[in-house]
Amino acid sequence: MKTASILGVHFHAVTMQQAVDVAMSRIRARQKGYVVTPNPEIVDLCCRDREYMGIVNRAALVLPDGIGIIYAAKILGEELCGKVAGIEFAENLVAAMAKENMRLFLLGAKPGVAEKAGENLCKKYPGLVLAGTQDGYFTDPQTAVDAINACGGADVVFVCLGAPKQERFMANYMDEIHATLFCGLGGSLDVFAGIAKRAPKIFIKLGLEWFYRLLCQPSRIGRMMKLPKFLLIVIRERLFGGKRK
């Protein structure tokens, strides 16, 4: 797979369909690994923490989540095949899994949310097997490891603990867990459970989902001010730094 480097994070240049195909082939071949969906906030964390950067870059799939990453790639002259948002990847993967009666475990979010998300997904995608759920507010990660193994394992685990917790969890505990593919998906369970709403399609199409989320939740302003800062760092990298062709 071709990659595009954005401040040291190696994104895979894949379309949504290719990402799902790669994931499904890995699951069928029982090839263990994890998927990450970095947004500018995660790239920024990577720049400040080399160990975390290593975890992100060792993922089987590094998918460009969000318009900020697409802008960054354009500025740097790196080629990507468009945005592959984590939440959309998750839903497409579930649809493909359902056709093969695969087992999904949902880990993360507040108590009750993963169950509701599972219920909704099973209704929408008949054939999908919900292996189990576990909320994301455990104190000992072993609790989550045991919960997944106790239900007989799964083909896929959605790990929705927020960054960087979810990526660290996947890298540190993957080998102990009876499951093949792990996907770090942030707040996706809140969306699948119907608690958090995605922006209307027009906002998503225009690349303004971030703006919609800001309107709904003005307290996100602090997190969002990181986006212009991120783009400035990318422009500086383009003008003065690292990139030699």
Contact residues for 55 (Cβ-Cβ < 8 A; gap 6+): 164, 167, 168, 170, 171
For the bound state, the minimum distance from the C-beta of residue 72 to ligand UDP, rounded and expressed in Å, comes to 17
Question: Is there binding between residue 160 and ligand UDP (CB under 6 A)?
Answer: yes
Q: Where are the alpha helices (DSSP H) in 77-139?
A: 86-99, 113-124
Residue with tokens 């790669």: 22
Of the candidate spans 3-11, 91-99, 147-155, 157-165, the one that interacts with ligand UDP by CB under 6 A turns out to be 157-165
Q: Are 80 and 70 in contact (CB under 8 A)?
A: yes
Nearer to ligand UDP, 42 or 131 (CB): 42
For the bound state, the minimum distance from the C-beta of residue 43 to ligand UDP, rounded and expressed in Å, comes to 13
Beta-sheet strands, E only, within the chain: 3-6, 9-12, 33-36, 61-62, 103-108, 129-134, 154-160, 179-184
Question: Is there binding between residue 110 and ligand UDP (CB under 6 A)?
Answer: yes
For the bound state, the minimum distance from the C-beta of residue 118 to ligand UDP, rounded and expressed in Å, comes to 14
- With CB under 6 A as the contact rule, the residue among 38, 40, 64, 108 that binds ligand UDP is 108
Residues near ligand UDP (CB under 6 A) are 108-110, 136-137, 160-163, 165, 186-187, 189-190
